[in-house]
Chain A
Amino acid sequence: MGIKILTKDIDVPGIQNFQVYRSYGGYNSVEKALRMTPDEVVEEVKKSGLRGRGGAGFPTGMKWSFIDKKSGKPRHLVCNADESEPGTFKDRYLMSKNPHILIEGMITSSFALGANLSYIYVRGELMYVVNILQRAIDEAYANGFLGKNILGSGYDLELHVTCGAGAYICGEETALIESLEGKRGNPRIKPPFPAISGVWSNPTVVNNVESIAAVPYIVNNGGEEYAKIGIGKSTGTKLISASGHINKPGVYEIEMGVTVEEFIYSEEYCGGIWKGRKLKAVVAGGSSVPILPANLILKLANGEPRLMSYESLSDGGFATGTMLGSGGFIVFDETASIVHNLWNFERFYHHESCGQCSPCREGTGWVEKILHKFLDGHATMEDIDLVADVAKKIEGNTICPLGDAAAWPVASAIKHFRPEFEWYVTNPEEACKPGAYYTGDKLVLA
């Protein structure tokens, strides 16, 4: 059993209640941090090597050190709990089962940033989570961990939980800020970055739930202890949302560095492919990261096993690698249709584009429509290149990374599974039959 940090006490009965959580050492990091200076807390987080768990993997300590302290404006910490990336469901699991770990992390992190007013922005569909968090916040206020003069330290913190109205784009940090301010959730044009001008034009840090929830452990045990867990620059543990054709779907906390093979096949994690079938492909980090065929996800180009870590998953770049992303691990068995799945993803991005910038607004819909021709049995060989080209024209030319997120799956699916797309063109009757799946054994290294 690997080490558990975030989910250690998650199944303790009543852990949602303040007293139970406290009796398991909860809120100790607040007491400890309040005896340190804010900069010392930031320093520990830097030493820990913690990287943002929201998808981009940006070092959290470094992000914190960018926040503008000189302007003298109020500062804010915003927790990104908008979790809407298809295949990702770890934050809601953590928040609904152990809400206090997030509240504790919010207090400790807000103190480090010098924020006196912080927010948790929850995905609109997760109203029940809002209620759970609100209850936990009320308890923290009642016990003197929130509000004025926390534990007599002189530090004040107001913490609000608010929710979106059901838009994936509000997970993008500047769209989230717009939405939080009560406006339409359009991503802002950067610069300025939130560290200079975020919520209410004040310096702001936006962090994922899981990043913030890791802070209490780091403060309690020291950054160096945390950095010992994991592998290389992928320190600590990571929550993986495992779904698809596996025996045991669910949320797993792994120590980074576990091999992909162990993660998929061991009883401790996914328990192997269901129904005794073969592994076809994996989307390793949520719907936006490149899809990889079985051979490439299990092994690096040099034949070594691929590991569950930022570096190993992206080894080989986009030619033979992918990304850890948000940790949404979607497994496809041999009966899955890559083409149908790609269309499904692109339908999502088309639906979720905010519509501000032309390449994403127009391109995502176009991509979806072309892909639908494959499912209808009307696609031509030219459509394969066309859809790849349209996706390429979106990539890198948009305001926010949603455009890239829509483009990468297309490029990788066609790169690694082109024969399957061709099969839809040459054998439409066969391909479009319900239950039919591609068996051509051509999934070779590009």
Chain B
Amino acid sequence: MDLLKVTIDGIEIEVPAGTTILEAARKIGKNVPPAMCYYSKLEGSGGKCRTCIVKVSQGSTKDPRPMPKPVASCRTQVMDGMVVLNETSPEIMEARASVVEFLLINHPLDCPICDQAGECHLQDLGYAHGKQKTRYEFKRRTFDKIDIGPYVQLHMTRCILCYRCVFTCDQITNDRVHGVLNRGDSAEISTYIEKSIENDFSGNVIDVCPVGALTDKTFRFKNRVWFTKPVNAHRNCTTDKCSGKVQLWYKGNEVIRVTARKDQWGEVEEFICNTCRFEKKETTDWVIEGPAKVDNKSVIGQNHYELSYDKPVVPPKISLFADHPSFKDDSKFIN
């Protein structure tokens, strides 16, 4: 197959036609644009949150003109000879900081009581690009909490409308009962007439949600995630299409949560069924494989705070945290 050459922040890589800028950056593994709505496993996702924007300073070898506006790297395909600026473009860093500002102005910032804290992508994003002080002085938008079925709670106030859960329900589960009501800043995720979602795979919406808007009712307020210990495990699951490969989150000897396994970009590797997720909470239900690594990007996950006052923080450098002495030793993550 023909390979196309693309340069991102000065690093060159060759990728097959059809690859997006974001996927190319992930292949390089450095200066990867943050993605809050794109999800490689969900068809049609991306393009909405605008955090992954980059500047295309040269369209292609054939047509070297720059693109006039920032583009969403998750939905823009690479052309041969394309030159992309991400973290090396001050304009992009500024535009990204504004997107983060927009995402946060109506966010409740209730991390101290949110189950997602510690594994929340918005928290990481805010840490990397957010400002210390808000310029927003108005009342923040709120919604009532909604129980969607026995296992999942929807806390719309925290939602960033990434549409991932909508795509998940549409593509992974059998019924299309989950969607968006209203528009603009009144838009909300909802299920059909507040119907509960009763579907073998509905629990996956919890894993794809980048923030704490969809949480696991069987885990709510049980513990902070950074006090729990993830372990890879599997079982011979009989549900059609369920891989049975999970992460068990231990507190002492007790399994207090079961999730799908996630890759280095925070995406679910293989979706799991509700039986595995909500009903198998004994060690004896599982074949234990061993400790799982935790994404070391998460700020709280590593108990590592660094404040910079009043100016946007330096671009996120994964290595910044990986180099930290407390992370040299993997066992630290799981204690």
User: Which residues of A are interface residues toward B (Cβ below 8 A)?
Assistant: 167, 169, 184, 189, 350-359, 361-366, 369, 386, 393, 396-399
Which of B46, B51, B185, B186 contacts A362, CB < 8 Å? B185
- Cβ contacts A to B, 19 pairs, < 8 Å: A167-B183, A189-B48, A350-B184, A351-B184, A352-B184, A353-B183, A353-B184, A354-B184, A355-B161, A355-B183, A356-B48, A358-B161, A359-B102, A362-B103, A362-B105, A366-B105, A369-B138, A396-B70, A399-B48
Interfacial chain A residues near B51, Cβ < 8 Å: 358
Which of A189, A358, A364 contacts B99, CB < 8 Å? A358
Asked, given contacts A184-B179, A397-B69, A398-B50, whether A358 binds B102 with beta carbons under 8 Å apart, the answer is yes
Interfacial chain B residues near A189, Cβ < 8 Å: 46-48, 72, 75
> Once the chains are docked, how many angstroms separate the CA of A23 from the CA of B273?
69
**7 closest Cβ contacts across the A-B interface?**
A355-B187, A189-B47, A393-B98, A353-B184, A362-B102, A396-B69, A355-B184
Interfacial chain B residues near A359, Cβ < 8 Å: 50, 98-99, 102
Interfacial chain A residues near B182, Cβ < 8 Å: 355
Shortest distance from the beta carbon of A144 to any chain B beta carbon, whole Å: 43
Interfacial chain B residues near A354, Cβ < 8 Å: 183-184, 187
Interfacial chain A residues near B313, Cβ < 8 Å: none
Shortest distance from the beta carbon of A29 to any chain B beta carbon, whole Å: 37
Interfacial chain A residues near B70, Cβ < 8 Å: 396-397
Shortest distance from the beta carbon of B40 to any chain A beta carbon, whole Å: 16
Asked, given contacts A189-B46, A355-B161, A361-B161, whether A397 binds B99 with beta carbons under 8 Å apart, the answer is yes
> Once the chains are docked, how many angstroms separate the CA of A184 from the CA of B190?
14
Are B160 and A358 closer than 8 Å at their CB atoms?
Answer: yes
> Once the chains are docked, how many angstroms separate the CA of A366 from the CA of B104?
12
Of A355, A393, A396, the most chain B CB neighbours within 10 A belong to: A355
Interfacial chain A residues near B180, Cβ < 8 Å: 184, 355
Asked, given contacts A189-B72, A397-B53, A397-B69, whether A353 binds B185 with beta carbons under 8 Å apart, the answer is yes
Q: Does B296 contact A (CB under 8 A)?
A: no
Interfacial chain A residues near B72, Cβ < 8 Å: 189
Q: Does B88 contact A (CB under 8 A)?
A: no
Shortest distance from the beta carbon of B233 to any chain A beta carbon, whole Å: 37
Interfacial chain B residues near A169, Cβ < 8 Å: 183
* Count of CB-CB pairs between chains A and B under 8 Å: 86
Q: Does B49 contact A (CB under 8 A)?
A: yes
Interfacial chain B residues near A355, Cβ < 8 Å: 161, 180, 182-187
> Once the chains are docked, how many angstroms separate the CA of A159 from the CA of B136?
49
Interfacial chain A residues near B101, Cβ < 8 Å: 393
A399's closest neighbor in chain B, by CB? Answer: B47
B163's closest neighbor in chain A, by CB? Answer: A356
Are A365 and B50 closer than 8 Å at their CB atoms?
Answer: no
B103's closest neighbor in chain A, by CB? Answer: A358
Q: Does B62 contact A (CB under 8 A)?
A: no
For the complex, would chain A's binding face be called helix, strand, loop or mixed by DSSP majority?
helix
CB contacts under 8 Å to A, within B13-63, are 46-51, 53
Interfacial chain B residues near A353, Cβ < 8 Å: 183-185
> Once the chains are docked, how many angstroms separate the CA of A184 from the CA of B184?
13
> Once the chains are docked, how many angstroms separate the CA of A393 from the CA of B185?
17
Shortest distance from the beta carbon of B101 to any chain A beta carbon, whole Å: 8
Are A362 and B106 closer than 8 Å at their CB atoms?
Answer: yes
Shortest distance from the beta carbon of B313 to any chain A beta carbon, whole Å: 18
> Once the chains are docked, how many angstroms separate the CA of A367 from the CA of B47?
23
> Once the chains are docked, how many angstroms separate the CA of A167 from the CA of B183?
10
A360's closest neighbor in chain B, by CB? Answer: B184
> Once the chains are docked, how many angstroms separate the CA of A169 from the CA of B183?
10
> Once the chains are docked, how many angstroms separate the CA of A355 from the CA of B102?
12
Asked, given contacts A184-B179, A393-B98, whether A364 binds B48 with beta carbons under 8 Å apart, the answer is no
Shortest distance from the beta carbon of B134 to any chain A beta carbon, whole Å: 11
A350's closest neighbor in chain B, by CB? Answer: B184
B162's closest neighbor in chain A, by CB? Answer: A358
Interfacial chain A residues near B184, Cβ < 8 Å: 350-355, 361, 364-365
Interfacial chain B residues near A396, Cβ < 8 Å: 68-70
A393's closest neighbor in chain B, by CB? Answer: B98
* Further contacts, 6 of them, CB under 8 A, given A355-B180, A398-B50: A184-B179, A353-B183, A354-B187, A358-B160, A362-B105, A393-B98
Q: Mark B289-303, 1 if CB is under 8 A from A, else 0.
A: 000000000000000
Shortest distance from the beta carbon of A168 to any chain B beta carbon, whole Å: 10
> Once the chains are docked, how many angstroms separate the CA of A184 from the CA of B178?
13
Interfacial chain B residues near A399, Cβ < 8 Å: 47-48
> Once the chains are docked, how many angstroms separate the CA of A353 from the CA of B161?
13
Are B95 and A358 closer than 8 Å at their CB atoms?
Answer: no
> Once the chains are docked, how many angstroms separate the CA of A251 from the CA of B53?
42
CB contacts under 8 Å to A, within B128-182, are 135-136, 138, 160-161, 163, 179-180, 182
Interfacial chain B residues near A167, Cβ < 8 Å: 183
> Once the chains are docked, how many angstroms separate the CA of A189 from the CA of B183?
17
Q: Mark B106-135, 1 if CB is under 8 A from A, else 0.
A: 100000000000000000000000000001
> Once the chains are docked, how many angstroms separate the CA of A92 from the CA of B241?
53
Interfacial chain A residues near B106, Cβ < 8 Å: 362
Shortest distance from the beta carbon of B146 to any chain A beta carbon, whole Å: 18
> Once the chains are docked, how many angstroms separate the CA of A353 from the CA of B101?
18
> Once the chains are docked, how many angstroms separate the CA of A184 from the CA of B53?
25
Interfacial chain A residues near B99, Cβ < 8 Å: 358-359, 397
Asked, given contacts A358-B160, A361-B184, whether A397 binds B48 with beta carbons under 8 Å apart, the answer is no
Interfacial chain B residues near A386, Cβ < 8 Å: 135
A359's closest neighbor in chain B, by CB? Answer: B102
Interfacial chain B residues near A365, Cβ < 8 Å: 184-185
Which of B49, B68, B179 contacts A357, CB < 8 Å? B49
CB contacts under 8 Å to A, within B48-93, are 48-51, 53, 68-70, 72, 75
> Once the chains are docked, how many angstroms separate the CA of A386 from the CA of B69?
22
Interfacial chain A residues near B69, Cβ < 8 Å: 396-397
> Once the chains are docked, how many angstroms separate the CA of A397 from the CA of B70?
7
Shortest distance from the beta carbon of B147 to any chain A beta carbon, whole Å: 24
Of A352, A353, A362, A386, the most chain B CB neighbours within 10 A belong to: A362
Shortest distance from the beta carbon of B131 to any chain A beta carbon, whole Å: 13
Interfacial chain A residues near B102, Cβ < 8 Å: 358-359, 361-363, 366, 393
Interfacial chain B residues near A184, Cβ < 8 Å: 179-180
Interfacial chain B residues near A350, Cβ < 8 Å: 184-185
> Once the chains are docked, how many angstroms separate the CA of A73 from the CA of B75?
25
Asked, given contacts A358-B50, A359-B50, whether A397 binds B95 with beta carbons under 8 Å apart, the answer is yes
> Once the chains are docked, how many angstroms separate the CA of A351 from the CA of B68?
28
Interfacial chain A residues near B98, Cβ < 8 Å: 359, 393, 397
